[in-house]
Amino acid sequence: MSDELTSGLRELAQDAETPPSVSGAEIRLRAVRRRRRRFRWTAVTVAGACAAASLALVVALNLTGDDREDRPSPAASPTAPPSTPSPAAPDATVDLSRRMLTVAGRDLPISSGSVRYPTATGRMMVVTKDSVRTLSLFAGKDLQKVAWVIGLRAADGTTNFVGTLTSDEKAPGNYDVTTGWIGLRHADAVWLYKQLEPGAVIEIRGATTPTPATDLPPSATEGTVLPGGTGGTGGAATYPGPGGTADAPTPSVPTEPSVVAVPAG
């Protein structure tokens, strides 16, 4: 290319060149501002990404439970102690203080053991029923055949009896003269004998109430053999039957159960 052509082109370009609308200092300032905006945008973006990552980590740890060892365990809620089931109501109750046996809404006067020979208390189960049984009247020194006897046994093996106190029907409800067994009037003993079956529960409560000697009849003082007894085991006694009529003399019977014997449950 000739020098003339080159010069012509240069002159043409210079004539067509448009001068810048801003100065060089303004251009440099705009460049600085552009870099600052780009830096702030980058910082905000990085911070948001870090926050999102932290939130995702917390959620993941809560879902997986990996931080349970670091977190304090919640306070244990108080638990109520297991309730002990109350025992079933007994079929009959004996109140030694009142001298009364209560069953099926009926109160039967009783005579129990004296202060010297108290009646055992607690729950007992009917285990035997005997039409006639030989029982001790006073500390084993005097035996007598007793009619309509219900045998009782406690969980610890303690035994007792409920029967007819034929020798002194004034004693039930008034004073205590037995060696620990529970004596009833004849009619009440017959009724109770039919009412309670083996397996029934009798609960004996209270304590024997001392009877002043002045309130006792001359023939029945506390600590003596009951009047009217046959004495020993040799004699025969006559006991009214369930219908109220006198039966034939009852022969001597062994001390073992004579009618129904049911082992303790």
Looking at the DSSP bridge assignments, the partners of residue 145 are 134
Q: What is the mean pLDDT of residues 16-28?
A: 67
Q: What is the mean pLDDT of residues 64-71?
A: 53
Taking all residues of the chain, what is their mean pLDDT, rounded to a whole number? Answer: 73
Closest-CA residue to 152 (of 102, 101, 204, 217): 204
Is the per-residue pLDDT at 261 higher than 70? no
What is the value of pTM for the model shown? 0.54
Instruction: Pick from 52-56, 175-179, 208-212 the range whose average pLDDT is largest.
Output: 175-179
| Per-residue model confidence as pLDDT tens digits over 105-161 | 999 999 999 888 899 999 999 999 999 998 876 555 678 889 999 999 999 999 999
Tell me if 133 sits within 8 A of 146, measured CB to CB. yes
CATH superfamily, domain at 92-211+223-261: L,D-transpeptidase catalytic domain-like (2.40.440.10)
| Per-residue model confidence as pLDDT tens digits over 74-105 | 555 666 667 677 789 999 999 999 999 999 99
Is the per-residue pLDDT at 247 higher than 90? no
Alpha-carbon distance 134 to 252, whole Å?
9
